[in-house]
Amino acid sequence: MLLLTGANGKTGREVLKALVAKGETVRAFIRQESQWPDLQALGASEYAVGDMADGPSIDSAMEGCQKVVHIGPPMHPDEKAMTQCFVELAKKHQIEHFIYYSVMHPLRRDVRHHSLKLDAEEVLIESMLPYTIVQPIRYMQHLLPIWNTVVETGVHAMPFNTQVKFNVVDLKDLAEATAIIATTPGHLYATYEFAGPESLSQQDMAEIISDVIGRPVSAQAVTLEQVADKARARGFNEDRVKQMQIMNKHYDECGFLGNPNVLSMVLGRSPTRFRAFVERLNR
């Protein structure tokens, strides 16, 4: 049995589907029982209701599990403490493989989202648990929320300048790689950087989208103020709003580049290219 945390999130759902496709029996760790029917439909075998800040519910959820895939809540200020709790309880339950879903370049200390992941990685490594750390880069799926707008308006808008480059990666590839790590031998004590195969600017992406849909698409930078307004409209608290602004400012200045070799090795194939992802959206 494998315990999957964050199972109802965007990442968690893709990882769940990939784990089930590999024959893994999955217990979904969720916040509300009402989330269970959807995850059961995706193939989860069991569920446990709990909170990542609540030790007793985590303890109960781990009972009878041999593996954990831990996907923490996004940009949570208490991520280190949460991970510490999961790690301590994993030791209690003699978990045979603890897979931590981190972020690429956690050493970017100016971005708290990255820095806390680095702290959590240290907790796991020092624990002596058999572990694998997955470090994904920015997702191609960040296009999904604005896809209809891009098609309708011909404007591809993101919260950083149009020339800075990213090795965006397909979440489906990340999920498949995570499932491979969880279900096949040879991945213990590894830290894997997972990046897409191309270094693309927003302008590059707009040109690819334009070519696929057959209509002009231009790239446009969204201001940090607009980022904050949209985040507040979605109900995010002020701490998360601030961290999103800090993160996007950093990406605007530095980009987010990585190498696809490790992801290719784990998948046993080349990772999905951005054009193929857009073609999938456009079907």
Q: What is the pLDDT of residues 175-214, one digit of tens each?
A: 999 999 999 999 999 999 999 999 999 999 999 999 999 9
Nearest to 250 by CA among 147, 135, 106: 106
pLDDT value of residue 224:
82
pLDDT, position 230? 83
- pLDDT surpassing 90 at residue 132: yes
pLDDT per residue as tens digits for the range 212-237:
999 999 999 988 888 788 889 889 89
- Calculate ∠ Cα 97-103-106, nearest 5°: 110
The verdict on pTM exceeding 0.85 is: yes
**In the chain, what are the domains?**
2-138+169-197+258-272 (3.40.50.720)
pLDDT (tens digit, 9 = 90+) per residue, 73-112? Answer: 888 999 999 999 999 999 999 999 999 999 999 999 899 9
Give just the sign of the alpha carbon dihedral 226, 227, 233, 236: negative
